[in-house]
Structure 1
């Protein structure tokens, strides 16, 4: 059986996508190298989307 892997780049644009990225970033992680790589990618994708949306408040909250 194939294991489902979270793909931050495949998350749709919009509020639901932002929430999915946040949920992954702040959810439980296994701490292995692959999990950390995917979380880092999710942070990058989320940051880029918030900058693109010019949502300074959401970006500030993410960094707090």
Structure 2
């Protein structure tokens, strides 16, 4: 799996960090998503896909 984020779309809701904290973080100054692992291990992929699904801004994309 490959993950990309669009920082321009991010609204800083933080759902990604709550769902997959090993894969996502947020910048302290504005809450914008920070991608920690663009190619997560198999055990983190379900959480990463869920994070993409719950992102209110649609800023996270996952590809096989």
TM over 0.5: no
Structure that is richer in helix per residue: 1
Name the TM-score, length of structure 1 as normaliser. Answer: 0.36
Higher Rg: 1
> Greater relative contact order (Cα 8 A, min sep 6): structure 1 or 2?
2
Structure that is richer in strand per residue: 2
